[in-house]
Chain A
Amino acid sequence: MLDTLKLRIYQGKQYIKDIKNATVKEKFRGFPIIESDTIDETICPLGAISNNPAAVDMGKCTFCGCCARNTKAVKFTNFYKLASTSREKLIITEGMNEKDFYKSAIEVNKEIKKIFGHSLKLRQVSAGGCNGCEMELNACSNVNFDMGRFGIDFMASPRHADGLVITGPISENMAFALEDCYKSTPDPKIVILTGACAISGGIFQNSQKLNREFISKHKIDLYIPGCPVHPLTFINALLDYLGI
């Protein structure tokens, strides 16, 4: 017993006090800055790079850093607040910086804020994900990130949830279960796409075994880029979306 108490005291408090202003290490590949009017598209195995105008689509990008290592046209900052309520806004073009992006990336919906601002319960569905995004979502609830302090938690049942968090490119076999889960979630509800796979199919976009009907059929409320999504990206996306 004494050992237990000593250990507890030794560990102290480890939560990140100011989640909104926490910094991640320099090397983290976050918001991309485009420094040239053309980028060699062939560098990107994901098809995330396009030209006229030169752009990187954060909805496709896995932040692998390949482009930054091989050209001077793209540079990654460690800015991690990458989410947006609009799919189009994830496409970053030449001259954009993280501050401009962040200012308009998330539109707070007053009604959502009123209903879910103090408590947001989410049901996570892994639909073909690689377990990378899933591990980071689990990390959101650990003692460091402690998402629960904002009233945001993952639920065991969709019937207790206010929204879905989808990871993975949506494999054919998961399409039915995902749709079912959506139907089981009471209204009003929100849908959040987490990670390159969920947003665009990511590295699996050319697979013949996907069924992404869900995405075109339902309204998507929030897009959170990453591969996997960093816990700070995820938590801040929700805080900004809820206007907290």
Chain B
Amino acid sequence: MNWLINDNNKCESIFDIPVLSINDLRQEIIQMKKRVVGFFGKQENDNVHLFVVLADDSEGKLYVSSAIFPPEIKEYESLTQELPSFHMFEREFYEEFNIKPLNHPWLKSVRNHKNKYEFFEMKGDEIHQVAVGPIHAGVIEPGHFRFMCCGEKIYELEIQLGWQSKGVEQLFLTSHSNRLAESVCGDSVVAYNIAYSNLVESLSGCEITNKAQLIRLIALEMERCAIHIGDLGAIAGDIAYLMGASIFGATRTLVINTMLEISGSRFARGLIETGGVNYDIDLALSDKIVSVLDKVSNDVERTVKTMLKSPTVASRLEKTGIVSKETAIEMGFTGMTARASGVNLDTRFDYPDKWYKDIENRSTKADGDVYSRTRLRYKEIKQSIYIIKKFLKELEKYSTEPLRVHCPNKMKPDSFVVSMTEGWRGEVVHIAITDTNGKFSRYKIKDASFNNWYALALAVRNNGISDFPLCNKSFNLSYCGNDL
């Protein structure tokens, strides 16, 4: 076998992962025709060990394989030529290990550019460039956008990130904790903390209680719900539909203030701890959550319906910033971005645990434009509220269970585990390898944004530059999740 077949959150011995030559591995990857979720190196003495994780989302399995680069091999034929979805992964691998993927179409820095970077340039009398960032006009994270425009029309957008980079993966090796996990990407506190906790629990053979599992998932869905509502407000704001911006802003407040009532933090920081959770949801609180969510559901529905009925709104959202289904598949876009283009990827339902197994997930019409991404958020808000209520009901059965169990401080040595959680943007992937002492020797994080930033670049082509903010908000991708 050239692949180890694995499950989400299942820990395997590192010695069971096949080691191929890079050429064989390359051929294998091309033949498999599966989606890439991990492609990263690890220094092993003088060698660089390349690990690949491919996902088969229809059967809910992960395929793992690897290749070793001895010090004299410093290049290989790039995969991106055959499989464009590898473009960021290969750039990252090159940047970190200086092993060159030959004939990569645009081999440049992902993060460590130290403010020096190339960008694609178009020349012509009518062409002008617009440079934005790293510091943007609003209160947002930094990144650089370079537009090639003809008049007001965008021909090409190149996105250079890396300004947020602070060596997070390295910090996981020296001092990992739930606090670090929830600070990697502060708009996805719950998703990141669940991914990390599941991973550590898998490595230390720790089984958390049903109660703790449910509380985590309730928080995960509340996070999704809150961000989607906030983003509907941001979308409304960008088309100057200010009533929408105000109402969604206030409605989001209701959700995050409820998170505060659960955990003491509006973003559920401090809620999740390896071994379980720190705070309970008792019956009284559960009733309160349900009544808040009923109001939220009603307000969102009413506002979305009123907003989308307005022809001036529809004209700004429809057919703006299109990402086609074919492109989404070819480029390996994931999560919400993929779903809005009609590609139904969702780790909650593709790799279901016992709680999501019975939840019906109907897909909706998706045309890949801003309108579809707006509709999708609305659908997911409703769905999350439904799931939260269901899980709250379920939670009543486990009221006597403890919140946390003791999680042994020792992780299995020489092991490999992939942990995927569906955050509101899409899959949050944490992958860890432990050494002979059971300490992390490699920690790899991949946010959905790592794949999806390119979707924004493609979406704005042939759109007016004034629609860029709107397109951007419709995706709302993460800078720190990409920069790490």
Contact = CB atoms under 8 A, between A and B. Distances in A.
Interface in A57-86: 62-66, 69, 76
Interface residues of A, number: 63
Interface stretch (B43-51, B253-261, B388-396): B253-261
B184 A4 contact: no
Contacts, number: 181
A93 interface: no
B167 A65 contact: no
B187 A4 contact: no
A132 interface: yes
B250 A207 contact: no
Contacts of A108: none
Interface of A: 3-4, 7-8, 10-11, 14, 24-25, 27-29, 45-46, 62-66, 69, 76, 124-139, 142-144, 154, 156-157, 168-169, 171-174, 176-177, 181, 202-204, 206-210, 227-228, 230
A25 B261 contact: yes
Contacts of B185: 130-131
30 contacts: A11-B250, A14-B250, A29-B264, A29-B265, A62-B269, A63-B265, A63-B270, A64-B179, A66-B270, A126-B139, A126-B142, A128-B164, A128-B166, A129-B186, A130-B480, A131-B141, A131-B185, A131-B186, A132-B186, A134-B186, A144-B250, A168-B164, A173-B162, A174-B134, A177-B135, A177-B163, A204-B183, A207-B166, A209-B166, A230-B266
A69 to B, nearest CB: 6
A136 B253 CA distance: 11
Contacts of B270: 29, 63-66
Contacts of B479: 131
Given A11-B250, A209-B167, A27 B261 contact: yes
A172 B186 CA distance: 20
B180 interface: yes
B165 A69 contact: no
Contacts of B266: 136, 228, 230
A204 B249 contact: no
Residue from A45, A173, A230 having most chain B Cβ neighbours under 10 A: A173
B115 interface: yes
Given A131-B479, A176-B115, 7 more contacts: A4-B306, A27-B260, A64-B269, A130-B185, A134-B141, A172-B114, A203-B180
A134 B185 CA distance: 11
Nearest to A155: B137
Interface of B: 111, 113-115, 134-135, 137-142, 162-168, 170-171, 174-175, 177, 179-180, 183-187, 189, 230, 243, 246-247, 249-250, 253, 257, 260-267, 269-270, 278-279, 299, 302-303, 305-306, 309-310, 478-480, 483
B61 to A, nearest CB: 32
A203 B166 CA distance: 11
Contacts of A154: 138-139
Contact of A138 (B139, B167, B257, B480): B139
B260 A130 contact: no
Contacts of B263: 27
Given A7-B247, A203-B179, A171 B165 contact: yes
A164 B271 CA distance: 32
A213 B264 CA distance: 33
A15 to B, nearest CB: 9
Contacts of B184: 130
B306 A7 contact: yes
Contact of A135 (B180, B187, B250, B299): B187
Contact of B163 (A69, A76, A139, A173): A173
B129 to A, nearest CB: 19
A97 B119 CA distance: 55
B260 A25 contact: yes
B274 to A, nearest CB: 12
A14 B115 CA distance: 44
B253 A208 contact: no
